[in-house]
Chain A
Amino acid sequence: MAMTRDEVYKKVQGVLVDALGVDEEEVTPTATLREDLGAESIDFLDIVFRLEKAFGIKIPRGEMFPEDLFTNAQYVQNGRITPEGLVEMKKRMPHVDFSELEKDPDINKMQFTVDTVVNYIESKVNA
């Protein structure tokens, strides 16, 4: 049965509260996982595990958070995403909003937000 965006959001919120030890009201749609919610590298694996359990889905490695793209010298040079990199990232991460990065492709602006996770899960559960 298809889930509404609000249902997905509520469940994702619960997962992030458990995985990151944050308060529910901190988990807003625009909150960034690293800067606002304090996620560290290992937390991303924890989030993937918890999402898989909560939604009964399988999240293949590198699909939601494709770290390999950010360390690829062809796609990121001197801290900036190359035009080729931007094309590849948009293709691999349709769940991410690239409007800001199109204006300024600074890799530090590549932030995963709560909305990013909700977009990804929504596409998986309603596929």
Chain B
Amino acid sequence: MAALVTNHWQLIPMRWIWIDKFTEFTPKTSATAVKNVSLAEEHLHDLFPAFPIVPHSLIVEGMAQTAGILVGEARNFAEKVILAKIGKATFHRLVRPGDTITFSAKIDQLSEQGASITGTVTVTDNGAVAPVADIELMFSHIDQNMAGLRFPAHNFVFTEQFTDLLKTYRLSSAVPL
């Protein structure tokens, strides 16, 4: 039985996807993604019992995924794009269950070795857009930077989970639903 469980986990990679869909995607320039926060998500209950909020670290992760796909697409997913540095992360308010988070990322610089982005995170509160965070991130194209270090040949960063998000966006923007 244990072997079966082990095999099961080997076959199904961890589902680590922190954005629900793209609402805007301009190659090499900017991307906007949204995430709906549900009380059903386990992690919401762990930080402060009886006061469920989205941890700031996971807000940074959502921005990293939005921006990471933008940076990866800029080079046709040929590079392994790794979050290398959080230059800045300033938070203005908490995110609660029922909120829809909007992650907007803009590429500041893109080179052979990596990219830097500026991001803003917002939620809609009573019909008005309210700022959640300002985030600056740096991504490294690791094969171009770590002299002498070897990484697996396949692109382990951009799994189908991520590339499918972009496919979904392209399909939905081509054919209005």
Contact = CB atoms under 8 A, between A and B. Distances in A.
Interface of A: 18-19, 41-43, 45-46, 49, 52-53, 61, 67-68, 71
Contacts of A45: 84, 111, 113-114, 138, 140, 145
Contacts of B146: 41
A98 B53 CA distance: 55
Contacts of B113: 45, 61
A47 to B, nearest CB: 11
B112 interface: yes
B148 A42 contact: no
A46 B108 CA distance: 12
A67 B144 CA distance: 12
7 contacts: A18-B87, A42-B138, A42-B140, A46-B85, A53-B109, A68-B147, A71-B147
Given A52-B109, A53-B108, A61-B111, A46 B116 contact: yes
Q: Which 8 A-B pairs have the closest CB atoms?
A: A42-B84, A49-B109, A49-B116, A71-B147, A45-B114, A45-B113, A42-B85, A46-B138
Interface residues of B, number: 16
A59 to B, nearest CB: 9
A74 to B, nearest CB: 15
A67 B147 CA distance: 9
A43 B114 CA distance: 12
Nearest to B110: A49
Interface in B100-127: 108-109, 111-114, 116
Interface in B7-43: none
Nearest to A68: B147
Given A53-B108, A53-B109, A61-B111, A46 B148 contact: no
A45 B87 CA distance: 12
A32 to B, nearest CB: 20
A49 B85 CA distance: 13
Contacts of A68: 147
Nearest to B141: A45
Contacts of A46: 85, 87, 116, 138
Contacts of B111: 45, 49, 61
A71 B149 CA distance: 12
Chain B CB within 10 Å — which of A18, A19, A49, A52 has the most? A49
Contacts of A43: 85
